Amino acid sequence: MPNRDTQLPDADQRPAQQPSTEYTPKEHSLGEQIRYAILVAAVAGLFFGLLWLFER
């Protein structure tokens, strides 16, 4: 026998859904791009330096 005290809320009584997450790319400043390029170059240099060192 169903319990009369437990009723599902009507669609009008439900809280509105929050807006979905936005997946647009983030704009990076020129300074951030330069720092990232230096970081990538340093990691690549370290990688190839280690390869060169172990091949000697």
By the 10 Å C-beta count (0-12 exposed, 13-18 middle, 19+ buried), 37 is classed as exposed
Q: What is the pLDDT of residue 20?
A: 85
pTM of the model: 0.55
Backbone angles phi, psi at 54, to 5 degrees: -75, -20
- The pLDDT tens digits of the residues spanning 1-55 come to 556 666 655 555 656 677 788 889 999 999 999 999 999 999 999 999 999 999 9
Query: Domain spans of the chain?
Result: 30-56
Cα–Cα dist 33/25, whole Å: 14
Q: What is the pLDDT of residue 50?
A: 97
Instruction: Name the token pair of 6.
Output: 């437990």
The residue among 24, 51, 26, 22 whose CA lies nearest residue 36 is: 26
Q: What is the pLDDT of residue 40?
A: 98
